[in-house]
């Protein structure tokens, strides 16, 4: 979503870092580039003005002029102002003291309210709640059926007493009453002891009086604890206009950004909070029901500035982390067993379960500089690797050295790949296996000097170990002689006097015994 904006800002700061001292002209040029980048990202003009004005004021203050590294200080200022624009601190979902908590979803048609209801239901269920989805959108064709399908996939019950509109026209069927359905849904949740109710409402292609009247009536009938305005992050500055209309007509307590994984410029995310004064609570980042994140302004600002989002990466990894499998794998390496293709396959599947590899790699700091490589990364390559390993027998996975030509041809045919693909996998796995062996021996990562044995990771020697020799004693360079010296069986040879200067052994030489060249004695006598 923020790829273009991130690239523009990163390039601006890269030019700024080459300057040891910033002048007013440098600050103005930087602010001008930031303004252009934000306007190209379709951020609302009032937001751009206030944002760049705050940056310029702080950049020209003593906060930057007295800093050891002015360029880094400017980057910090931009990060702080981005966090402010995005809402400041993270705001969590407010739950009612007396259940059920009622959450009303509002927004235009096509913004993703129904899908969000399923995502929110799954997220609540994972948090230990018992949500109930209410199908109050009786106008859009097959909206009730869609919510039932989404609810089934999320494992969350759906209250749908009316089938809704089954035709092709976007009209409210005769006798359908969305307000009554919403009210009955809350009463049903209270009777069945559901602690959270998520009400899906109808939308329109544009803001009109009928939409506002229906949403306001449902609000008055259910007294929701949270009214979440669902906005499509791809519609640019129109999102601000729509958000303001809903804030005036219905009112909402929080914003949910949908389709944040799209390729739009992302101006809505940087504008809606500043204009409406309502925080962003969630961000929908994909098509899967699990692709829903709590919105953290500081983390989003770090992503935009290519600083990465390691905390979110860790949280996603923890969701799919299998502690038993990790402990079993660590014990296997500690016992000296080899890393096999079966282990490689299980580790690969565990990493993939945390999310798309491209998305996870994009959360690492500095990955914006490798955007082209990330964009060209093909997830299907991982599928081919899995297919190749699945086409092997258990014996072949345990010992790839038995893979001769005929076996590799069979594996390639079974996985729908080429023999060269199988060869490449075996070569890469062989390098990974060597690395695992070195790590198991406590030698650290390959080609990383200075990483010796970790405490307790090396193997203990059998029997009694000889004490270390005392310093200052000469030891033989011959291994056998040196071992005998350590046992005290052979006396250490005394270093011959003067041997360090190349004079050989024997007693020290006397000046009288030294024969000087002819004629040199006159210089020694001072003649």
Any domain includes 355: yes
Same domain, 376 and 290: no
Instruction: Classify the phi-psi angles of 139: left when phi > 0, otherwise alpha if psi is within -120 to 50, otherwise beta.
Output: alpha
Same domain, 281 and 144: yes
pLDDT band at 495 (very low <50, low <70, confident <90, very high): very low
Same domain, 204 and 178: yes
Any domain includes 135: yes
Same domain, 335 and 215: no
107-123: average pLDDT: 90
Interval 90-102: pLDDT, tens: 888 999 988 899 9
Any domain includes 495: no
Pairing state between β 254-258 and 196-200: unpaired
Looking at the predicted structure, is the pLDDT value of residue 173 above 70? yes
Task: Say what the pLDDT of residue 361 is.
Answer: 63
Same domain, 301 and 366: no
pLDDT band at 228 (very low <50, low <70, confident <90, very high): very high
| N-terminal to C-terminal alpha carbon distance within the chain | 93
Query: Which one of 440, 471, 493 terminates a domain?
Result: 440
CATH code, domain with 52 = 1.20.120.140
Task: Say what the pLDDT of residue 358 is.
Answer: 61
Same domain, 116 and 10: no
pLDDT band at 518 (very low <50, low <70, confident <90, very high): low
Mean pLDDT for the chain overall: 76
- Listed residue (297, 268, 295) closest to 282, CA to CA: 295
Any domain includes 69: yes
Task: Say what the pLDDT of residue 189 is.
Answer: 94
CATH code, domain with 350 = 1.10.260.30
Domain total in the chain: 3
Same domain, 325 and 298: no
Any domain includes 524: no
Any domain includes 498: no
- What is residue 286's DSSP assignment? S
Same domain, 198 and 328: no
Residues with Cβ within 8 Å of residue 270, at least 6 apart in sequence: 38, 41, 43, 44, 47, 82, 85, 86
Same domain, 11 and 47: yes
Same domain, 252 and 355: no
Any domain includes 258: yes
Interval 363-401: pLDDT, tens: 565 555 555 555 666 667 778 888 999 899 989 888 888
CATH code, domain with 147 = 3.40.50.300
Query: Which one of 412, 440, 468 terminates a domain?
Result: 440
Identify whether the C-beta of residue 31 lies closer than 8 Å to the C-beta of residue 59. yes
54-68, 191-205, 416-430: least confident range? 54-68
**Greater confidence, 294 or 61?**
294
- Listed residue (219, 129, 149) closest to 182, CA to CA: 219
Interval 286-325: pLDDT, tens: 888 988 888 888 888 877 776 655 566 666 666 656 666 6
Q: How many residues are there in the chain?
A: 527
Residue 364 structural domain: 319-440
Query: Which one of 54, 85, 116 terminates a domain?
Result: 85
Any domain includes 187: yes
Interval 124-138: pLDDT, tens: 999 999 999 999 998
CA distance 188 to 172: 23
Looking at the predicted structure, is the pLDDT value of residue 149 above 90? yes
Q: pLDDT above 90 covers what percent of the chain?
A: 20
Same domain, 259 and 385: no
Task: Say what the pLDDT of residue 186 is.
Answer: 94
Same domain, 120 and 236: yes
């Amino acid at each position: 979503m923020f790829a273009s904006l991130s690239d523009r800002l990163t390039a601006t700061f890269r030019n700024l870092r080459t300057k040891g001292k910033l002048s007013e002209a440098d600050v103005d040029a930087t602010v001008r580039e930031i303004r252009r980048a934000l306007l190209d990202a379709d951020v609302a003009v009032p937001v751009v003005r206030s944002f760049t004005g705050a940056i310029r004021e702080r950049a020209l203050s003593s906060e930057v002029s007295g800093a050891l590294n002015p360029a880094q200080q400017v980057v910090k200022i931009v990060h702080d102002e981005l966090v402010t624009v995005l809402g400041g601190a993270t705001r969590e979902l407010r739950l009612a003291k007396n259940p059920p908590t009622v959450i009303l979803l509002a927004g235009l048609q096509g913004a993703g309210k129904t899908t969000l209801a399923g995502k929110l239901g799954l997220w609540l269920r994972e948090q230990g709640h018992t949500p109930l989805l209410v199908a109050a959108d009786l106008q859009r064709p097959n909206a009730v059926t869609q919510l039932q399908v989404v609810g089934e996939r999320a494992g969350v019950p759906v209250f749908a007493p009316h089938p809704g509109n089954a035709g092709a026209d976007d009209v409210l069927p005769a006798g359908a009453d969305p307000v009554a359905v919403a009210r009955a849904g809350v009463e049903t949740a209270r009777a069945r002891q559901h602690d959270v109710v998520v009400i899906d409402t109808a939308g329109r292609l544009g803001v009109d009086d009928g939409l506002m009247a229906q949403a306001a009536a449902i609000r008055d009938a259910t007294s929701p604890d949270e009214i979440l305005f669902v906005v499509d992050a791809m519609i640019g500055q129109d999102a601000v206009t729509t958000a303001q209309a809903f804030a005036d007509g219905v009112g909402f307590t929080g914003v949910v950004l949908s389709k944040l994984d799209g390729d739009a410029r992302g101006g809505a995310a940087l504008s809606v909070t500043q204009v409406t004064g309502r925080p962003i609570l969630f961000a929908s980042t994909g098509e899967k029901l699990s692709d829903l994140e709590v919105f953290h302004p500081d983390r989003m600002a770090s992503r935009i500035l290519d600083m990465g989002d390691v905390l979110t990466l860790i949280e996603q990894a923890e969701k799919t982390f299998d502690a038993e499998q990790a402990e079993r794998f660590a014990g296997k390496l500690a016992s000296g067993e080899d890393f096999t293709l079966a282990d490689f396959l299980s580790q690969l599947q565990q990493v993939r379960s945390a999310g798309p590899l491209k998305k996870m790699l994009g959360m690492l700091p500095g990955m914006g500089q490798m955007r082209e490589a990330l964009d060209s990364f093909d997830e299907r390559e991982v599928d081919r690797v899995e297919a190749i390993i699945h086409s092997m027998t258990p014996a072949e996975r345990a010992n790839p050295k038995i893979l001769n030509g005929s076996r590799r041809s069979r594996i390639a045919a079974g996985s729908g790949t080429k023999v060269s693909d199988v060869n490449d996998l075996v070569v890469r796995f062989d390098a990974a296996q060597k690395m695992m062996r070195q790590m198991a021996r406590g030698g650290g990562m390959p080609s990383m000097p200075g990483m010796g044995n970790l405490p307790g990771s090396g193997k203990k020697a059998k029997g009694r170990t000889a004490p270390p020799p005392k310093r200052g004693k000469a030891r033989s360079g011959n291994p056998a002689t040196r071992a005998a010296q350590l046992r005290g069986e052979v006396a250490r040879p005394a270093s011959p006097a003067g041997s360090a200067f190349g004079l050989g052994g024997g007693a020290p030489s006397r000046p009288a015994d030294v024969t000087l060249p002819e004629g040199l004695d006159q210089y020694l006598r001072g003649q």
